[in-house]
Amino acid sequence: KPQNLGSKVNSKFGEWGSCISPDGMFLIFENSGKANNLSPAGDLYISHKFNGEWQEPFHFDEKINSIGSDLTPKIHDDILYFASNRPKNNINNCNNVDLYIISVSKLLDNFNNNNWSKTQCGFEFKVGNGITFLPDTDIIVISKPTGELDKLNKNQYSIFKLSFNENGSHSESKLDILSSEYTDYHPVISPDGKYLAFNSTRPNATSKVENGKTNIWISTIENGSIQTPNYVETINSDFNDSYPSFTIDNRIYFNSDRPGGKGNMDIYVSDLINGQWQKPMLIEELNSVHSENDLVVDPEERFIIFNRYISKTNEIDLFISYNTNGEWSTPSEIKSINKPNVWELTPTLSLNGEYLYLEINGEIKCYPTRKFLKK
C-alpha cells in the first residue's frame, strides 16, 4: 500500500512528476500553487533525505524555474531532464513544451552554495577547527582560535555558536558553558540533537591533575539549550582521547593513544546502553601501526572517514572504510581530496551527508561527498 511522504514534503497544493536520485538521497518534484513559485502551473523543488526522513523542500530559483511550467523531472547519470514551456529559448517560438537538461552536480553545487543558511551545507569558513550542526535549526557550532594563550601556555581554541538569518548574515557568540581556561575544540552534535561532545585539555574531572592530555567531554542538549559538560570516565583514559563522532544508534567513535592499540593513535567505539556509555572496543580493521587521528562516522555507520599520520613521510591523508554487515573494509585513501604536503584535518559531515568539511591550513573547506563515495 502506498505511503504518504508526509507534511514536510506534501502541501495543500499539488505535488507530482517526481524523480529520485540514484543514491536515494534527494527527491526533485513539481509543485503548483506555492507563493514563491515563478509559475502558477508548476515549479521544481528539491527535498533531501536525512536519517531516513525527507526534509522540508526548497525551491529552485530562476536559474532553473521560469514563468512557464517546469515539469516532469527525470535523472539519468549526472543529468536532470525536465520539460518547460518557458517563453525564452523556445525553439519554435510558440507555447509548446520543450525538453531541457542541466548537470546535477552543478545544479546541487549552485543550489547549496546559495542556500547554505537553510540546508546547512555547501559553504566554507576562513578560520575554524571543527564544525557541527544543530538539527532542525539554522545554528552552527564551530571552534576557532581566541587569539589568546590557554592555561597551558598554548594557543587557545574555544567553541562558538553561529546563528544564521534568512539573508545569510549571522551572529556569533562564545559558548561560555563549554568554555574553560584551557583549549576546547572540535564540537560534534549527535544526529538526534541530544548530545554535544568536544575535545578539551582541561584537567581530568576525577583526578583534577593538569597533565595537558586531551579528553572527551559530553553535554546534553535540552530544548535547544546546551547543558554543563561532563567528563565520561568509561570513555576516557589517563591518555589522549579525542575526535568523537556519533551514530543514530547511540554509538560514539573516537581515537585514543591508550595502551592496547596497534599504533600511536587508534579508533575505538563505545555504546550507550540504558543511559551509560560502555567500555570502548578497539576496531581492529581500521587501525594500523601508524596514527589514526581525526575521524567522522556516517550516522548510519555505512562508512567512516579518518586521517592517518605516517611519521616516515610526515603526511596526514584521508582514508575511508565501508561497513558491510558489521564488518569494516580495509581503509583506502581518498585520492580525489588528498594532496602532497597538505594535511587534511578534522573531517565532519553536513546534516544531509552531501558534504564533507575539512580543516585545511586553518580554514574550513567543503567537498561534495558524491565525488568520492562508493556508489
Q: How far is CA 198 from CA 122, 283, 343, in A?
A: 23, 21, 21
> 265: which DSSP letter?
B
Instruction: Answer whether residue 4 is part of any domain.
Output: no
Query: Which residue, of 87, 114, 141, is where some domain finishes?
Result: 114
C-alpha cell of residue 306? 579518518
Based on the domain organization, do 347 and 234 belong to the same domain? yes
pLDDT at 284: 96
Query: Is the residue at 3 inside a domain?
Result: no
Return the pLDDT at 296. Answer: 98
Shared domain for 217 and 365, answered yes or no, is yes
Residues 17-34: pLDDT tens digits? 999 988 787 899 999 888
Cell 533531501, located at residue? 48
- The enclosing domain of 197 has a CATH number of 2.120.10.30
CA distance 360 to 186: 14
320 has a pLDDT exceeding 80? yes
Residue 114 has φ and ψ, to the nearest 5°, of -90, -10
Specify the number of domains making up the chain: 2
pLDDT confidence band for 122 (50 / 70 / 90): very low
User: For residues 304 and 295, is the Cβ–Cβ distance under 8 A?
Assistant: yes
Question: Does residue 106 sit in the same domain as residue 210?
Answer: no
Please answer whether residues 305 and 296 qualify as being in contact, where contact means their C-beta atoms are separated by less than 8 angstroms.
yes
Residue 161 has pLDDT above 60, yes or no: yes
Contact 211, 160 (CB under 8 A): no
pLDDT value at residue 169: 64
Judge whether 8 lies within some domain.
Answer: no
Same domain flag for 321 and 204: yes
What percent of the chain stands above pLDDT 90? 58
Looking at this protein, which amino acid is placed at residue 313? Answer: T
Q: How large a percentage of the chain has pLDDT more than 70?
A: 90
pTM of the model: 0.73
pLDDT band for 267, please (50, 70, 90 cuts).
very high
- Asked if residue 196 and residue 78 are part of one domain, the reply reads no
Among 114, 148, 168, the domain boundary falls at: 114
Q: What is the pLDDT of residue 118?
A: 38
218 and 100 within one domain: no
Do the domain assignments include residue 6?
no
> Has residue 7 been placed in a domain?
no
Q: Is residue 203 domain-shared with residue 311, that is, in the same domain? A: yes
pLDDT digits (tens, 9 = 90+) for 194-212: 999 999 999 986 777 788 8
Kindly state whether residues 303 and 156 are assigned to the same domain.
Answer: yes
Look at residue 5 and tell me if it is in a domain. Answer: no
Same-domain check for residues 190 and 167: yes
Of 329, 364, 335, the residue nearest 347 (C-alpha): 364
Range of the domain at 24: 14-114
Cβ contact 49:62 at 8 Å:
no
pLDDT at 149 over 80: yes
1-15, 52-66, 116-130, 225-239: which is most confident: 225-239
Answer yes or no: do 178 and 210 share one domain: yes
Single out the residue of 104, 185, 166, 161 nearest to residue 354, CA to CA: 104
Q: Show which of 114, 149, 180 is a domain's final residue.
A: 114
Cα dihedral value 238, 239, 242, 247, nearest 10? -60
- Residue range 65-112, pLDDT digits in tens: 888 889 999 999 889 999 998 876 655 555 678 899 998 877 776 665
Same-domain check for residues 276 and 356: yes
Does the pLDDT at position 363 exceed 90? no
Mean residue pLDDT of the chain comes to 88
When pLDDT is averaged across residues 345-364 and rounded to a whole number, the result is: 89
In a domain? residue 367: yes
As a whole number of angstroms, the distance between CA 299 and CA 245 comes to 9
**Span 169-194, average pLDDT:** 93
Look at residue 48 and tell me if it is in a domain. yes
- Together in a domain, 129 and 191: yes
* 330 against 129, higher pLDDT: 330
- Grid cell 550542526 is found at 133
